[in-house]
Amino acid sequence: GQNIDQPTEMTATEGAIVQINCTYQTSGFNGLFWYQQHAGEAPTFLSYNVLDGLEEKGRFSSFLSRSKGYSYLLLKELQMKDSASYLCAALDSNYQLIWGAGTKLIIKP
């Protein structure tokens, strides 16, 4: 079956760095997305990786290893507004998104 695993909850300190891991098993693979979702709001797009390696976008970076079925989202210089759920989603061979349940990130002052 198809499956996405990511931690349920993480806590970090304002100004620090946090890495949110995601492992995936899908029928075929056409890329991996990270979305940010604040409570009660829609997901917003953060990143898309289809090739191995690190993609950097400001304070956020995303890494992919296709051979390991593994990705992580790295958040630097954490701000209180980064408190949200972070959803990992993989695109399968039919271009359907397979979603993880999300990682709730709690930022403490």
Partner 1 sequence: DAMVIQNPRYQVTQFGKPVTLSCSQTLNHNVMYWYQQKSSQAPKLLFHYYDKDFNNEADTPDNFQSRRPNTSFCFLDIRSPGLGDTAMYLCATSSGGPLTDGYTFGSGTRLTVV
Binding site for partner 1 (CB under 8 A): 4, 30-31, 33, 35, 40-45, 48, 50, 87, 91, 96-97, 99-102, 104
Q: How far is CA 22 from CA 15, 45, 108, in A?
A: 23, 16, 23
CA 14 – CA 3 distance, rounded (Å):
31
CB of 60 to partner 1, least distance (A): 13
Cβ neighbors of 62 (< 8 A, separation 6 or more) are 32, 34, 46, 47, 49, 54, 55, 71, 72, 73, 74
User: Which tokens hold the place of 45?
Assistant: 């797009």
CB of 15 to partner 1, least distance (A): 27
Judged by beta carbon, residue 76 or residue 96, the one nearer partner 1 is 96
Judged by beta carbon, residue 10 or residue 13, the one nearer partner 1 is 10
CB of 18 to partner 1, least distance (A): 19
Judged by beta carbon, residue 40 or residue 109, the one nearer partner 1 is 40
